[in-house]
Structures are given as structure tokens and as C-alpha cells.
Structure 1
Amino acid sequence: MTWDYFISILIPMLEGSKMTILLFLIAIVLSIPLGFLLTLAVKSSFKTLSWLAQIYIYVMRGTPLLLQLLIICFGLPMIPGIGQYLVLDRFVAACLGFVLNYAAYFAEIFRGGLLAIDKGQYEAAKVLGLNKWQTMTRIVVPQMFRIALPSLANESVTLVKDTALLYAVAVPELLHFAQTAVNRDFTIMPFFVAGAIYLVMTLLLTLFFKWIERRYTFE
């Protein structure tokens, strides 16, 4: 593989990686708060809300993300009567699928974090005269995030790799350009270049989360 050829396949793949990074940012920014809301819904004293949240989490975690993307992109427009109103841009549909799917996983991570908090924390907050809102925002949530941080980091790395599923719904991202180069040039090298780009992205994300973990540790 010559240097000129390497540059010729690298440039389009870097362009495709912009779509990969954009999807990741949208998914992570929206799915984490949605996941936290789902966790609160599961723990709600309103049984119907809790039941619905648990069913949602079970369905989203129990079915493949690829299947969910295909349903949103190609299935919803086929619904009789209302399908014409459910036709979405492929990238928008993919973002919706990722957010809805990963929110369910983050909800379970947050639930585990809440379960790990000692009951004495709630009793201590009550003794100090804190109301429920103050207890949640000042005592519970900071500890929950600290406990859940390693799992959040792992799930975020998985999210980066799952962005390759954009290829299945015809969104031109990193893997799309790698596959195009492979088909055009009859060489496997573009796959290795794409793999290296994914490794760099996951490495940077891992270092970022390790920095956050160290910051929490020393606070």
C-alpha cells in the first residue's frame, strides 16, 4: 500500500467518521438523561408508570439494535394510514433508534447505581433535614453517577462501535467508505484503516472517562 493510496482512502473515511462522531454525540447527550428518567419511572410509586418503563426497558434490551433501526427506518412508513407521516431522514431515524435503545441500557446502569447506595445515606439526609429533592440532587445522584461511571464508560465505548450499524440503513459513515474502497480496489487494507480509526476514537473516549474517574476519586 503506497502513501498516496493510503491518503486517498483515509480522507473519505475521515469524512465518514464525522457522521460517526455526530451520531455518538447526539446519542450520548440524549440517551443518558432519558435513561435516568426511565430509572426514576421504574422506581416510581405510580405502578402503571413503573410497569410501562420496565416493559420498555425489557423490549429495547431484549431485541437487536439493528432490528430496531430497520423498523424505524423501513417499518414505520409501512404502517397503514399513518405510514406516510412517519417517513424520517435516515440519519434522524438512526439517531432516534440509538437514543431509544441506549436509554434502556443506561437506565439499568443507573438502577444498579441507585441500588448500590447504602440505605443509611437516605436516613442521614433525613436527619439533616433535607427534603426528597435535596436528598436526590445532593446525596443520591452524585454517588449514583460515581458508582455507575465505569459501566457508563464501557457502554459508551460500545456505542462508538455500534455506530457502524449506520451502514445497514444506508447512512454514509466510516464503514460505508471503507466498504466502498474494498469493493473498488479489491484489497482488504481499507478495513484495517477503518479499524485503526475506530481504535483511536475508543482510545480517546476511554482516556476521557479515566480522567473523569480520577477527578471523582480525588474530590
Structure 2
Amino acid sequence: MTDRPGAEPAGRERQEIRAVPVRHPGRWVAVAVLAVLAAMLVHTVLTNERFGWDVVGNYLFSAPILNGLRNTLVLTVLSMAIGIVGGVGLAVMRQSPNPVVSGAAATYIWLFRGTPLIAQLLFWNFLAALYPRLSLGVPFGPEFISVDTNVLITQFAACLLGLGLNEAAYMAEIVRGGMLSVDRGQAEAAGALGMTRSQTMRRIVLPQAMRVIVPPTGNETISMLKTTSLVVVIGYFELLTSAQRISNQNFQVIPLLIVAAFWYLVLTSLLTIGQGFVERRFGRGFVPDRPGSRLLSRAVNT
């Protein structure tokens, strides 16, 4: 009598497999080290009186700090608006088959990405030293409009020009990368259906490119929030400038820096949450290749 296939041989008892979990002593050592470091950090923050937590509490919601916070938000929103609009325009120009248009956009990007932002802010703030009056008219002919540069280019305008035009150069490359991620055949198919180049960009390419454009744009927005602190070089009143002016009066440098850092962290956290919602909104219909997704698809197919 032969044994059935897969049956245990006669006289041999089935033994259960005893699985022994793999030990990871290095993980426990890392946890212990991190716990000690965290305890040291908490201890020094709570016991070191030089942090001046009472000063932090007094100025956290003070009027000068909140005014600087408001100016920081306004600069961030308007500068990013200029950067996004300008970046889309420059990206479309870079993709143009006209070499003059494409070359002009490439030159703009090269110039504004290749020079420091602080230098650009100073340039726009002191533009009157180069052009005392700005005029619009026919070259070597009559002037239609002429205005004093100091009246037109205020500190706020210089901040917007410096931050916005610089951001447009970076956004142009982000948008161009998103446009290149869309299959070229879709633009060709749109052209075969009679769509113009602008219609193809607006209705076919850009909507699909948003999934690639949104994440780095969110990062640029968070970066812009912190980059606005550079306008201190031209004396504009924003969050960090407000904290520095107060510290120059009461000599409490560290507590006022903590106040500014607190508000930057709060705003950055809110922007990060908003970025997550926007990414999920434009990522609908796209399933990333996560670990295990292939195994799940195989199981469904079988």
C-alpha cells in the first residue's frame, strides 16, 4: 500500500515549526541613546533660566510680533503668486519652438537663479540710484509716462519684486519638469483633433502635470515663508525684523528668536498639512507602486 502524495511517512510524527523572532540589539541601543538625549534636552530647556520663557510668553502675542507675522504672510502669498504665474509663463516660453522666445526664458532663469537673492533685493531697493525716473514711451522719442522711481519702488514693492521674480525662475523649472512628465503623444493627439498649442497646454498638458508640479510647489511655498526673513537687509518690517527690533531694545536676543521660531514652525506646520490635502486632490486616480501592491494585483488577477 503506497502512501498518498503529501502524506507524512509512516512512523514519523508531524512536528510544529517553532519560529524564533530575529533579535535586533542595535535598535534597543539606538532607542536608549535617543531617550537619554531627549531627557537631556528636556532637562536643559526646563532648568536653564537663560531661555527666558517668561519673556517668550510676554511677547508671543504682542502687537509688534503679530504685525510682523501679518506682513510675513502677505509677502509669502503675493510673492508665491508672482512666482507661480511667472513660472508658468516662463515654462511655456522654454517649450516654445521659437528659439528667440525659448532663449529669452532661458536667459531669465539663468540670471535670476545665478545671483544671490539678497543682491536682488538690494538691487530693487536701490533702483533709483540707477534710474532716478522710470518712463514709458518710444525709444529716442516722446515719453508717455514718467514717474519718480522712489515713489514707485517702495520697500514693499522691492520685496515683492525681489522675492517674486526670483521665485519665478525656480517655478519655471518645476513647471517645465511637470510638463515633460506628460506623454508627448497626448499633445500630438490634441493637435490632430484641431486644438491650438495654448488649448493643448491649458486643457491637456497642465492638468496632468499638476500631480508632478504640486509637491515641489508646496516645498517652495514653505521655503518662501522662511525666505521672507531676508528682507531684513532692506529694513522691511516682517516677523524676524520685528523680533530683532524688540531684542535691540531689551537685549533679550534668545527669547525673541524663540518667539520668531515658534511662529515659523506653526505656519510651516499648517502649510505642510495643506500641502498634503492638495497633493491628494491632484493625485486622484494615480496609484503609486507601494510595497505589496504588485502582490495584491497578482492575487486579484488569479
Would the TM-score normalized by the shorter structure come out above 0.5?
Answer: yes
1:170 corresponds, among 231, 235, 239, to: 235
Separation in 2, partners of 1:81, 1:183: 34
Q: Secondary structure at the match of 1:218?
A: coil
Give the secondary-structure state (helix, strand or coil) at the position aligned to 2:61. Answer: helix
Aligned to 1:10: 61
Against the structure 1 CA distance between its residues 81 and 215, is the aligned structure 2 distance closer, same or farther, given a 3 Å change threshold?
Answer: closer
Q: Is the 8 A contact 1:42 1:50 kept in 2?
A: yes
Identity of aligned residues (%): 37
The verdict on how the C-alpha distance between 1:118 and 1:80 changes in structure 2, with shifts beyond 3 A counting, is: closer
- The residue that corresponds to 2:159 in the other structure is 94
Post-superposition CA distance 1:159-202 (Å, at most 9, x none): 11000012111111111111122222222111011011011111
Are 1:217 and 2:283 an aligned pair? Answer: yes
SS of residue matched to 1:10: coil
1:131 aligns with 2:195: yes
Root-mean-square deviation over aligned CA pairs: 2.0
Unaligned 5+ segments in structure 2 are 1-51, 135-146, 286-302
- Cα distance in structure 2, aligned partners of 1:161 and 1:8: 20
Aligned to 2:265, the other structure's residue is in SS state helix
Aligned CA distance change for structure 1 residues 141 and 2 (closer, same or farther; 3 Å): closer
Cα distance change of structure 1 residues 151 and 2 upon mapping to structure 2, 3 Å threshold: closer
Q: Give the structure, 1 or 2, with the largest relative contact order (CA under 8 Å, sep 6 or more).
A: 1
Task: Give, in whole Å, the separation in 2 of the partners of 1:2 and 1:33.
Answer: 42
Q: Which residue in 2 is equivalent to 1:47?
A: 99
Change (3 A) 1:184 1:97: same
**How far did 1:6 drift?**
2.2
CA distance in 2, matches of 1:32, 1:47: 23
Q: Distance in 1 between matches of 2:95 and 2:56?
A: 56
**Helix, strand or coil at the partner of 1:171:** coil
TM-fit CA distance, 1:78:
1.1
Q: 1:77 aligns with which of 99, 109, 128?
A: 128
Q: Which has the larger radius of gyration?
A: 2
In the other structure, the counterpart of 1:202 is: 268
For 1:135 and 1:49, locate their aligned partners in 2 and report how far apart those are by CA, in whole Å: 19
Which has the larger displacement, 142-151 or 181-190? 181-190
Which ranges in structure 1 are unaligned for 5 or more consecutive residues? none
Is the CA contact (8 Å cut-off) linking 2:55 and 2:255 kept in structure 1?
no
- Higher deviation after alignment, 16-25 or 135-144: 135-144
Report the count of equivalent residues: 217
Checking the alignment, whether the CA contact within 8 Å between 1:9 and 1:178 is kept in structure 2 is no
Distance 1:39 1:110 in 2: 6
User: What code does the residue aligned with 2:116 have?
Assistant: P
**2:77 matched to which residue of 1?**
25
* Higher relative helix content: 1
